[in-house]
Chain A
Amino acid sequence: MRENVVIRTVSRLAVPFIQVFALYVIVHGASGAGGGFQGGVVFASSFILMTIAFGLSSVKKRFNNKWIMICSIIGITIYAGIGLLCLILGGNYLEYGIIEATLGIPHLHGYLLDAVEVGIGITVMAVMTSIIYDMAERRGESP
């Protein structure tokens, strides 16, 4: 029983740092090692740590299946939405230069890249968390 206290305390302390690091990894995809997928997986690993330490039901109270579905939809919609926005404004799909030329904000190109990465990160986080929810829910009895 004593090891539970150590695991729970350390998890509770570490999870915010893991999540901030995940955001750092997502945003640094364009200019360093990182990107949407990697940051999403690191973010999901914080949820996995909480599931292992505290059990499935307490994590599900904060991030239940409905929110997983909404997050995965929002992520891809950001990606497809930015692409279609470039289409509507006259350029090719995902041609960020068109939005920058239309709106006139400098360096918008880079911000849109990061926005797409954030979208991908949200979806990846939601999917990875749903995988661990599904695996942790099964209590396999051998027939």
Chain B
Amino acid sequence: MIEAFYELFLSRYNYWMAIILMLIGLYALIAKQNLVKKLIGLNIFQTAIFLFYISIGEVEGGTAPIYLPEGVDALYVNPVPHVLMLTAIVVGVSVTAVALSLIVRIYEEYGVIDEDELMQAVRKR
């Protein structure tokens, strides 16, 4: 009983954390009415994916993937997911910048950032 619990939850806790964060982000994206809150939800969703990637690259007992001085023998974690996530973070920042500019223009044009009121304002114009 305890073994099943351990195998399902405790030994895979990194996957559970990533999935719970992803679902929180998706919930904010879908359920919140304010456009800026939707964008924050998108950021949480993307951050959860980054954490998932980094947790895959973990080597048990490994240290940060930066070369220690010559002669010191050490076990490093896998550096490839770290490098991939650098690129993905840049992509996330660019998307956030474009989305914020769009929100600024929507606000200037319609005067509302709430999703329901925005749909009404769009239909009226």
Chain A interface size range: 10 to 19
A142 to B100 CA separation, bound complex (whole angstroms): 17
Interface of B, secondary structure class, is helix
Q: How many A-B residue pairs have CB under 8 A?
A: 26
Query: Chain B contacts of A4 at CB under 8 A?
Result: none
A13 at the interface (CB under 8 A from B): no
A107 to B117 CA separation, bound complex (whole angstroms): 61
Chain B interface size range: 10 to 19
- A134 in contact with B108 given A31-B66, A32-B66, A37-B86 (CB within 8 Å): no
A138 to B111 CA separation, bound complex (whole angstroms): 14
Q: Which 3 A-B pairs have the closest CB atoms?
A: A142-B111, A143-B111, A140-B108
Q: Which residues of A contact B (CB under 8 A)?
A: 31-33, 35, 37-38, 41, 131, 134-135, 138, 140-143
Q: Which residues of B contact A (CB under 8 A)?
A: 66-67, 86, 90, 93, 97, 100-101, 104, 107-111
26 contacts between A and B (CB under 8 A): A31-B66, A31-B67, A32-B66, A33-B66, A35-B86, A37-B86, A37-B90, A38-B86, A41-B93, A131-B97, A131-B101, A134-B101, A135-B100, A135-B101, A135-B104, A138-B104, A138-B108, A140-B104, A140-B107, A140-B108, A141-B108, A142-B107, A142-B111, A143-B109, A143-B110, A143-B111
